[in-house]
Amino acid sequence: MIGVVMILSGFLGLLLADFGFIQHCRKYGKTKAQTYFNPAMLQSYVILILCVLILTGAFIGGHR
């Protein structure tokens, strides 16, 4: 259970950081595709998808 809470808090933190970065870019007029698909953002998207898969697996298969 502690692991699930840690993964969930990391997921939420990374999600908030991504939204904050996107808002920052929109505020300063940097809304090109390069802004949203730079290597750091792509890595964070992959981590978010992996977190969703891990949490889904924990909630579905963790009750055995």
The rounded distance, in Å, linking the Cα atoms of 18 and 13 is 9
DSSP class of 64: -
* Residues near 8 by beta carbon (within 8 Å), at least 6 away in sequence: 51, 55
pLDDT at 49: 93
pLDDT tens, the chain, 64 aa long: 788 888 889 889 999 998 998 888 888 887 777 777 888 888 999 999 999 998 888 888 766 5
Q: Of 50, 24, 53, 51, which is closest to residue 36 (Cα–Cα)? A: 24
pTM of full prediction above 0.85 = no
